[in-house]
Amino acid sequence: MTPDTEPRLIKRAFDPVVDANTRLLILGSLPGDASLKAAQYYAHPQNAFWRLVAGVTERDLIALPYPDRLEALKEAGVGLWDVIARATRPGSLDAAIREAETANLNTLVDRLPKLRAVAFNGATSARIGRRILVPGPGLSLIDLPSSSPAHTRPFEAKADAWSVLRPFLVRP
């Protein structure tokens, strides 16, 4: 199949995982194929997201069933969403994203009264998110190395970079 005859593969973001206590919003680009198939954020087994956030929150998220992971994030004041609402993309690489429609980040941010930081999981998320987000006073924008296995930085270096999120968490 050539690029001219390849079917359009439209991918859509999940709903945001947030509540009124969200202090930190982590934004990815667009769910990959493994996540879309599982209907779960960061479902690819080699994606380091859950390990990275477990280290930041100091909670054993890996052992929890997916719905409990999301609840644990919300208890820590962490929300999830993506900067792209829908796009065409064969496969899961950000470089293959075409015809992207951005998410309405500003509306979501305006609905989160305790929000103190928005963290971008990877360069694509940061590039798009920083272009469309209009941060209010006191809102920090943080660029993080991607949790994706396609981003080959060692896990320890990613974990060190992600540790800047700790001050924005709700502590038990």
Dihedral sign, Cα of residue 37, residue 131, residue 129, residue 160: positive
Q: What is the pLDDT of residues 67-78, one digit of tens each?
A: 999 999 999 999
Residue in the block written with tokens 């859509």: 12
What single letter denotes the amino acid at residue 149?
P
- 76-131: per-residue pLDDT in tens? 999 999 999 998 888 777 777 788 899 999 999 999 999 999 999 999 999 999 99
109: closest CA among 22, 14, 12?
22
Catalytically active residues, by annotation: 47
Of 1-15, 18-32, 47-61, 127-141, the range with the lowest mean pLDDT is: 1-15
Look at residues 39, 35, 30 and name the one whose alpha carbon lies nearest to residue 10. Answer: 30
C-alpha 108 chain-centroid distance: 14
Q: Does the pLDDT value for residue 3 go beyond 50? A: no
The model carries a pTM of 0.91
* pLDDT tier for residue 170 given thresholds of 50, 70 and 90: confident
